[in-house]
């Protein structure tokens, strides 16, 4: 009975969607490198100047000036660089001075990484400048070269790499892992980070990006960016510096749809690197299956969201029309999506079974009466199991694609009917 009750509780917990997360990014105060006008992305990097310390001391008042209640924040985080840690201290001290529950500063990344995330790329430190390290920060070809590649990331080209630095997939991975840690520990957190890191990650991930903010509203020292993540894991930009940001318009929605479609295969290929390098047959099959699923779902989502956004835009232009998205309830969710998610679990199970089979056959190889050498037997069995797993994966992927195609046709028909009804009503 106790086992059954425990299993039931775990099932209920996993069925409950994660709560929303609010992240208030704060850029560090002026550093010695800022004052000297050169790019310095080394770790731990330079300290704050006297002006930077004054700016850091003003962070609590700045947040309150925007109308934010400091008592609502439940976590303070900083990067592995000294300048963010120094900027975070006055906010942490504010709670002590006002007899509030202490909020110590947690460092994200490096030796301070959550032990449960050992080996993962993680951190909110500045984007590594590579060959542009030491170049002028505010002018010249060095600055243009440093910012050009990350600008490509915001457009969906995450495979681009800063010469001598990281590419967009690596950057997004460490940021996502860092924010996952924040999500595990907080609901409303302040994260002290760096200008390029905050701007680029935000524009790469939110559903209402505005690239003009990057051009016309560059973040100054201790400027604030606020983003919110809903239960579905979607990020929304709420504030950029002194500017409050609203929902995305139609061109922005279409840009995001295209961006996310382009990102999906890049992420799938990036995730294949570890199992391929490790020559782990089971993990290769499982990861490949997940990649196919993610790319397939991205394609279905692109068509559905694009049609829905277009229909909303048309309805909004009609007399008396209002923007109403196509229904997306759990019951009406694409069958391909549900099947694809189940496919991943099955692939993982198949990979686990494959590993167990290999272990059993290796252990029992001494008892075989077959004339072939033990390693030949194990290798032949392994190849056979991998072929079976790949065959099963191919069949399931085909089923997923077929159902996805049917679902897309259904969505397009719904959109066509909606437009026809809206036109008749006009």
Is the separation of the CB atoms in 121 and 170 below 8 Å? yes
Euclidean distance between CA atoms 81 and 19, whole angstroms? 30
The one catalytic residue in 28, 173, 236, 290 is: 28
Phi/psi region, residue 45 (left: phi>0; alpha: psi -120 to 50; beta: rest), is: left
Nearest to 95 by CA among 66, 72, 67, 68: 72
Euclidean distance between CA atoms 116 and 103, whole angstroms? 22
DSSP string, 277-331: HHT-HHHHHHHHHHHHHHHHHHHHHHHHHHHHHHHHHHHHHSTT----PPP--TT
Annotated catalytic residue 28: yes
Give CA torsion, residues 363, 368, 370, 374, to 10 deg.
30
Is the separation of the CB atoms in 121 and 174 below 8 Å? yes
Euclidean distance between CA atoms 76 and 188, whole angstroms? 9
Nearest to 402 by CA among 334, 330, 326, 342: 334
* 117, two tokens: 């995330």
Nearest to 361 by CA among 373, 348, 377: 377
Is the separation of the CB atoms in 87 and 56 below 8 Å? yes
Euclidean distance between CA atoms 69 and 188, whole angstroms? 11
* 127, two tokens: 């984007």
* 160, two tokens: 């681009």
The one catalytic residue in 30, 38, 126, 173 is: 126
Euclidean distance between CA atoms 176 and 89, whole angstroms? 24
Euclidean distance between CA atoms 29 and 49, whole angstroms? 8
Catalytic residues: 28, 126
């Amino acid at each position: 009975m106790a086992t059954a009750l425990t299993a039931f509780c775990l099932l209920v917990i996993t069925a409950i969607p994660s709560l929303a997360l609010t992240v208030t990014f704060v850029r560090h105060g002026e550093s010695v490198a800022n004052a000297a006008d050169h790019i310095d992305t080394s770790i731990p990097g330079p300290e704050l100047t006297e002006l930077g310390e004054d700016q850091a001391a003003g962070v609590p008042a700045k947040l309150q000036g925007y109308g934010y209640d400091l008592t609502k924040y439940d976590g303070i985080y900083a990067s592995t660089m000294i300048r963010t840690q120094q900027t975070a201290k006055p906010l942490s001290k504010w709670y002590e001075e006002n007899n509030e529950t202490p909020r110590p500063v947690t460092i994200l990344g490096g030796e301070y990484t959550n032990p449960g995330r050992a080996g993962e790329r993680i951190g909110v430190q500045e984007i590594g400048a590579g060959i542009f390290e030491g170049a002028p920060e505010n002018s010249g070809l060095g600055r243009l070269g440093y910012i050009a590649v990350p600008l490509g990331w915001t457009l969906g080209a995450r495979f681009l790499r800063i010469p001598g630095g990281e590419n967009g997939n690596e950057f997004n991975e460490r940021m996502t892992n860092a924010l996952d840690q924040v999500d595990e520990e907080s609901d409303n957190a302040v994260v002290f980070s760096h200008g390029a890191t905050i701007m680029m990650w935000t524009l790469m991930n939110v559903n209402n990006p505005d690239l003009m903010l990057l051009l016309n509203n560059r973040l100054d020292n201790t400027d604030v960016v606020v983003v919110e993540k809903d239960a579905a894991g979607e990020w929304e930009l709420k504030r950029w510096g002194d500017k409050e940001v609203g929902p995305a318009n139609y061109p922005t929605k279409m840009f995001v749809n295209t961006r996310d479609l382009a990102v999906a295969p890049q992420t799938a290929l990036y995730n294949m690197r570890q199992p391929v390098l490790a020559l782990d047959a089971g993990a290769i099959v499982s990861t490949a299956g997940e990649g196919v699923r993610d790319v397939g779902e991205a394609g279905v989502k692109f068509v559905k969201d694009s049609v829905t956004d277009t229909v909303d835009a048309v309805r909004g232009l009609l007399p008396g029309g209002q923007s109403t998205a196509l229904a997306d309830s759990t019951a009406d969710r694409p069958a391909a999506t549900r099947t694809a998610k189940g496919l991943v679990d099955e692939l993982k199970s198949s990979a686990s079974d494959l590993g167990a089979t290999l272990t059993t056959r290796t252990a029992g190889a001494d008892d075989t009466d077959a004339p072939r050498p033990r390693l030949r037997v194990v290798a032949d069995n392994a190849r056979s199991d991998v072929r079976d797993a790949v065959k099963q994966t191919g069949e399931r992927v085909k089923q997923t694609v077929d159902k996805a195609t049917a679902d897309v046709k259904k969505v397009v028909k719904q959109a066509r009917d909606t437009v026809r009804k809206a036109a008749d009503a006009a």
